[in-house]
Structure 1
Amino acid sequence: MVSSVKVHCPRTLPPAGRARPLPPAALFRPGRWLHLPSHGPAFRAERPQRPAPKHLVHALSGNNRNGHASSAGDAEVEEAVNLDDILGQGEGTPAAAQAGAQASLEDEYEDDDEVIGLDDIIQGHLGDEEGEDTDPEAESGDELLDDAPEGPHELRRNEYPEPPERRWRLRDLLQAAGVVALGPDGAELPFSSLPELEISNLLTCNSPQGLDQALYVCVPATDADADGHDFADRAPDQGAVAVLAQAGREVPECSVPVLRVADPAASLGRLAAAFYGNPSRSLKTVAFVGTHGKTTAAWLTRGLLEETGALTGMIGTIEYAIAEDRLDEEGALWAPEEDDPSADRESSSPFHILPYEGKYGCPETTPDPLHLQKVLAGVKDRGATHAVVELSLQSLIRDDPVPEIAPDVLVFTCLLDDDLPVGLTPAACCQAIQQAFARLAPGSTAVINVTDAFGAELAASVAAAGRARVLRMSTAPTPPGSPPADVFAERTKHSIWESEVVVTTPAGRLQVILPLLGAAHVGNALAAVAAGCALAIPLPAVVAGMEGVDVIPGRSEVIDEGQGFSVAVDAARSPAGVARALRHASALGARRLLVVLGGRGDATPEARAALGAAAHAGADVLFLTNDSPGRDWPDRIISHVVAGFPEAVRHRNLGAAYPWLQDPHRVPQWYQSFLTQYQSEVGRYVIEDRFSAIRVAIGMAKPKDLILVLGKGHEDFQEYWGGQELGETVKGWFDDRVECRAALGRLPSLEKLKDLDRSFLPWTRYPEEREGMLASILEEELKSKGTAEPAMRQVFGPTPAVAAGVDGADDGA
């Protein structure tokens, strides 16, 4: 009997043990299941033997994915490995890290060797009994660089056509865009009466640099604190030869002609589209709207388009790109303008800030109307035939971009009103999405998720309008009496490594296995499949293209270095998003769910408390840490997060000498072991340094555990504040994915310490040593101080030696 299995992308090496040849095209007739002889399991509940992802993001980060640390051997551990060893010593404390942020930037890691972290521990800094030194090259990781990826390939500048120079007469440009100039009395001016000016560029107050022969359009500034009209007098200094301002609005005296229009902000998109030759009309464009799932669905769609051989452009949260070459917001091929200090590093270092230089950065999901057209033109001019665009809800409300990009396919992923962008209401989001679909051009296709009531109503209204073809998709059976879904999930299966979705489409049934975790990604996979169907892409290419996407940066990104537990990095950061991520993760069958996250500096205390409540409710073991504290103090942020814990947890150890839900470096050294003991009792750890928190979580994981590192996703930086009056922050390189991979590379050396108990903090050679260690610390404290805190006695009760010390202290008083 022939079993049904998935199809592998022919341009990607199949994972070991799961190789399957592509079948003849005759097997993929409409309405048939994709049958292939089975050469291995179609879905793995255990860890799949797949190679490490090869992706540009990892290469750009300087990540050494294939290297491992030198072995620490089977050295005897003479003392407990406590949190102080892991997190650093001396000046390496959270407070010192904040105060010395600028100094760390200036010395450029010259004092790295003074910081003792988990790397040091497992590479031999604890030493063996004979004090054998570790190879210095092995400590630095330099010997691994030969096996590391070579980094980003050379930009293929010579392979792309040279973008053309564009020149317009001012009157012709306004006429092509349908923008009418108004006279002082508000009457429309004939185009022939406009000044004879040549326009070579468009410019706004949001443009990064001045441009010659430009038309300056007065639009609101992106920071919402200023308006382009306020800078009209400076526009000529930036190359402007004319200014387009709102009728009736005063502008500073200007040395170039000022034209008046009814709404310059609304005119900008039409002007930009006309100036760049309406690039989207030359492209097959797929656009995505919704609160969640746009990035994942867009990347999967990009993969299936590239599988057909289409040169595809991308505009979204992670990058603007054509093929594997990134673009800047001007639509030009991006290249670093400065050296990248992290290029030769395997990871960052604890309590240090590495300058964020030579990086691509994180673009705005949807650029403003001018730069949206610039990037689309940059894609089209270089020969692309397709484009995938994410449309944020903010851009839908602010810019109404759908008419100017004229998508061939517009996909609605979902609308979760419990997790909307800051400042937006459910009513405003619903209205913006409805308007976007109402603006579709005749002959286009609307792909709509009808799983919820809003999606079903949206599909009905678009179908009634008759302008666009409607393709319904659903992750669940449609209610009786409702139109059936055209694309729906017939069956799903999930593990801590991957997800399998069996999909029914108008062209037949298919099966995809993706390295995405949890039921939340079923809808994203369906959106990509439906987009492929809307573009009439053959099902084999849909399957192969989606499975050819090795990784979607920071979106449930599985970090697989051959370990027996799963590690995933995800961008979930809001309370509702974290709760949803943990709810889906808890259904994956993991032995334990370990979570690393932190509150952000730009969040309110109430939002941080809600984040803490969600994390506590969903995690078996929780590590609270930093997540770009920005203009706030890390310990203050964590105190807000902890405030969301249940009262029964917060009020434990009320008689303790110091609050116990804080970083061990915030308390005296003698108390740190007691604090970690308290935190171990409930599995809630506070480790402000994110580098150390990730390493400790990975060090404590056991087979079949799942570690979720939440909050940053694809973001590869952190922002800190040194207390300056102006509130300026220091931006440093930090990539969760790089840190996880580096820590996993060190794990084999750590696992050679067979009798090291890593179940709790502090780590000890034998479990029974933990109690003896704490008792000995207390005894030494009593000898030196002659006093004892009642809270310290509560840990294990007084030993005879401790009791004698207390009695002696009392007698001496």
Structure 2
Amino acid sequence: MPAKLEGKVATAPPRPSRVQPVAVSELASTADAHLTAPDRAHVPVGGVTLRAQHVRPGDLFAALPGARAHGADFAEQAVARGAVAVLTDEAGAAKVRDVPVLVHPNPREVLGVLAARVYGNPSTRLGLYGITGTSGKTTTCYLIESILKAAGRETGLIGTVETRIAGERLDSALTTPEAPDLHALLAVMEERGVTDVTMEVSSHALRLGRVGGVGFAVGAFTNLSQDHLDFHPDMEDYFRTKAELFDGRARVEVVCVDGEWGRRLVKPATITVSTTGDATWTASEVRVSATGEQTFTAHGPGLEIPVDLRLAGEFNVANALLAIACVHSRGVDAEAIRRGLAEVRVPGRMQRVDEGQDFTAVVDYSHKPQAVALALDAVRARSAGRIITVLGCGGDRDTAKRPLMGEEAARRSDVLIVTDDNPRTEDPAGIRAAMLRGANALAATERGDVLEIGDRGEAIRHAVSLARSGDVVVVAGKGHETGQEVAGVVHPFSDVETLASAIREAHQ
């Protein structure tokens, strides 16, 4: 069952106000699907959804097979709400009554193409930037969006933190929305004058067809490291799924080649970026201030761009280069790039919390072994004080990374406090135990002190109580999130607010 947020009710995603209905026979032809009830082939379809509770009159309801139930079990409810046709497989078709059925052996595979057709293929007219990779997707999207705004473009953003339409903020439930919601969202953006959209493209989105029927102006790759091995059988499968973004659906391909996974994606026309070697775009004269801000010079085709970046860490130099390469490929000039990067803010990504204290406090979303290592290395590079880290692991996710995260954090921290993240349906103590095994497997000389405090709020307050002048407190794993999921219920919780409150209380 999906998690419930206390006090909130899930709302239907936005849809465009103007849609030219498409005959169900045309949709059947588009999907190469068998159409039952050919005498009703001219029934017009004006919307698409795979959630019965979100059906509007005139919709095509996508009844997909699932692990626990078949979407066709909800077809009667969908028809009662006004669905005029159903897309499903053979098993689902047997459960549908009273409306034409589009029967396809893999309905999820064609759902995106059908939604694109119904909503008028909006991705073909937008400057759509799709960013994939393990880490850096969110940051790169915000960097690109900030540059585009500086260039005078009207922007949309779709990602982990939020969805924004010309400045209006919507909460994000999925990193990449389901295909019908995505195409409807893009159509809404076009209606509201958006010209350019930045979007995170997760491996789940690629594998599950959420970006089916989407055409990208630019597709970009950040990096690949261990994550989502609860969903992918191994790293090779994870990589192959990410590589689907570069199968021709993006008109321009931009790849960070600082790792072997990225180098495997390079083709003759690929635009490459690197902080360490030869590439289309490189960086030099990287300087880091005591507070983590960075300056560097970006070198590209006939260009040198001075960059002021308020984000810490070499990995954010790579993210900035990737953003520069993406927008430059679309004609954005150097001055807009410079101004946009200087102004960017990324919620929950190396986000400083300043309440006037004499130590540094940072909230970061790092929730993968490599991301934890990179974040703590970036902090260590600019601090002579102790590093005090608060870290947990999410439940119902890749279990293999838990001891690795504990190990990476313990190796780089003077004090590591292992706590709860989003335990979801798992026993929180079991998750912490896996992290502690990794941390305590290190020799005492190779790690800092390791503590266990299950209550995340108490863990953060204890970290603050330990901090002395010049130290750094890093609260990692949840970043921008404003809830903590425990036993299927999401309770309000913000690392940023909790850390700020703890600092204020400690200095009263």
Deviations 1:265-286 (Å, cap 9, x if unpaired)? 2221111111111111221111
Q: Do residues 195 (structure 1) and 38 (structure 2) align? A: no
Q: Within 1, Cα distance between the matches of 2:35 and 2:431?
A: 55
Q: Do residues 239 (structure 1) and 49 (structure 2) align? A: no
CA contact (8 A) 1:503 1:510 kept: yes
CA contact (8 A) 2:154 2:196 kept: yes
Q: Within 2, Cα distance between the matches of 1:445 and 1:410?
A: 6
Q: Within 1, Cα distance between the matches of 2:159 and 2:440?
A: 38
CA contact (8 A) 1:419 1:576 kept: no
Task: Identify the residue that residue 128 of structure 1 maps to in structure 2.
Answer: none
1:512 to 289, 304, 307: 307
Q: Within 2, Cα distance between the matches of 1:297 and 1:401?
A: 19
Alignment of 1:209-248 (within 5 A): 209-221=54-66, 224-246=67-89
> Would the alpha carbon gap of residues 541 and 715 (structure 1) be closer, same or farther in structure 2, given more than 3 Å must change?
same
- Displacement of 1:297 in angstroms is 0.4
Alignment of 1:136-535 (within 5 A): 163-171=16-24, 173-174=26-27, 178-182=30-34, 194-204=40-50, 206=51, 208-221=53-66, 224-246=67-89, 250-327=93-170, 360=171, 362-399=172-209, 401=211, 404-416=213-225, 418-424=226-232, 425-440=234-249, 444-460=251-267, 463=268, 469-478=269-278, 485-494=279-288, 495-535=290-330
Task: Identify the residue that residue 697 of structure 1 maps to in structure 2.
Answer: 463
Q: Within 2, Cα distance between the matches of 1:695 and 1:641?
A: 20
Q: Within 2, Cα distance between the matches of 1:599 and 1:457?
A: 30
Structure-1-length-normalised TM-score: 0.56
Task: Identify the residue that residue 25 of structure 1 maps to in structure 2.
Answer: none
SS at match of 2:292: coil
Task: Identify the residue that residue 366 of structure 2 maps to in structure 1.
Answer: 572
The number of residues matched between the two structures is: 492
CA contact (8 A) 1:302 1:312 kept: yes
Q: Within 2, Cα distance between the matches of 1:433 and 1:611?
A: 23
SS at match of 2:486: strand
Task: Identify the residue that residue 503 of structure 2 maps to in structure 1.
Answer: 744
Deviations 1:240-275 (Å, cap 9, x if unpaired)? 122223357652151222233454222211111111
Q: Within 1, Cα distance between the matches of 2:140 and 2:347?
A: 12
Tell me which amino acid in the other structure corresponds to 1:408.
Answer: A
Deviations 1:616-636 (Å, cap 9, x if unpaired)? 222111222222333344445
> Would the alpha carbon gap of residues 563 and 440 (structure 1) be closer, same or farther in structure 2, given more than 3 Å must change?
same
- Displacement of 1:378 in angstroms is 1.5
- Displacement of 1:693 in angstroms is 2.1
Q: Within 2, Cα distance between the matches of 1:512 and 1:557?
A: 19
Deviations 1:365-385 (Å, cap 9, x if unpaired)? 111111110111121111111
- Displacement of 1:486 in angstroms is 1.5
> Would the alpha carbon gap of residues 181 and 642 (structure 1) be closer, same or farther in structure 2, given more than 3 Å must change?
closer
User: Could you say which structure has the higher strand fraction?
Assistant: 2
CA contact (8 A) 1:297 1:528 kept: yes
Deviates most, 566-575 or 492-501: 492-501
> Would the alpha carbon gap of residues 172 and 306 (structure 1) be closer, same or farther in structure 2, given more than 3 Å must change?
farther
Structure-2-length-normalised TM-score: 0.88
> Would the alpha carbon gap of residues 697 and 259 (structure 1) be closer, same or farther in structure 2, given more than 3 Å must change?
closer
CA contact (8 A) 1:284 1:386 kept: yes
Q: Within 1, Cα distance between the matches of 2:59 and 2:486?
A: 38
1:537 to 332, 335, 349: 332
SS at match of 1:684: strand
Q: Within 2, Cα distance between the matches of 1:605 and 1:314?
A: 31
CA contact (8 A) 2:49 2:181 kept: no
Q: Within 2, Cα distance between the matches of 1:644 and 1:409?
A: 39
> Would the alpha carbon gap of residues 692 and 489 (structure 1) be closer, same or farther in structure 2, given more than 3 Å must change?
same
CA contact (8 A) 1:245 1:260 kept: yes
Deviations 1:556-593 (Å, cap 9, x if unpaired)? 11223343322111111234432343334333334211
SS at match of 2:332: coil
Return 5+ residue gaps in structure 2 as ranges: 1-5, 8-14
> Would the alpha carbon gap of residues 648 and 199 (structure 1) be closer, same or farther in structure 2, given more than 3 Å must change?
closer
CA contact (8 A) 2:394 2:421 kept: yes
Deviations 1:607-650 (Å, cap 9, x if unpaired)? 44333323222211122222233334444543443333436889
Deviations 1:518-554 (Å, cap 9, x if unpaired)? 22222111111111211211111111112211x2111
Task: Identify the residue that residue 466 of structure 1 maps to in structure 2.
Answer: none
Higher relative contact order (CA 8 A, sep 6+): 1
Tell me which amino acid in the other structure corresponds to 2:44.
Answer: E
Give the alignment's Cα RMSD to 1 decimal: 2.9
- Displacement of 1:602 in angstroms is 3.0
> Would the alpha carbon gap of residues 277 and 476 (structure 1) be closer, same or farther in structure 2, given more than 3 Å must change?
same
Q: Do residues 707 (structure 1) and 503 (structure 2) align? A: no
Tell me which amino acid in the other structure corresponds to 1:202.
Answer: V
Q: Percent identity?
A: 31
> Would the alpha carbon gap of residues 415 and 573 (structure 1) be closer, same or farther in structure 2, given more than 3 Å must change?
closer
Return 5+ residue gaps in structure 1 as ranges: 1-104, 107-161, 328-359, 464-468, 479-484, 651-680, 722-728, 750-813
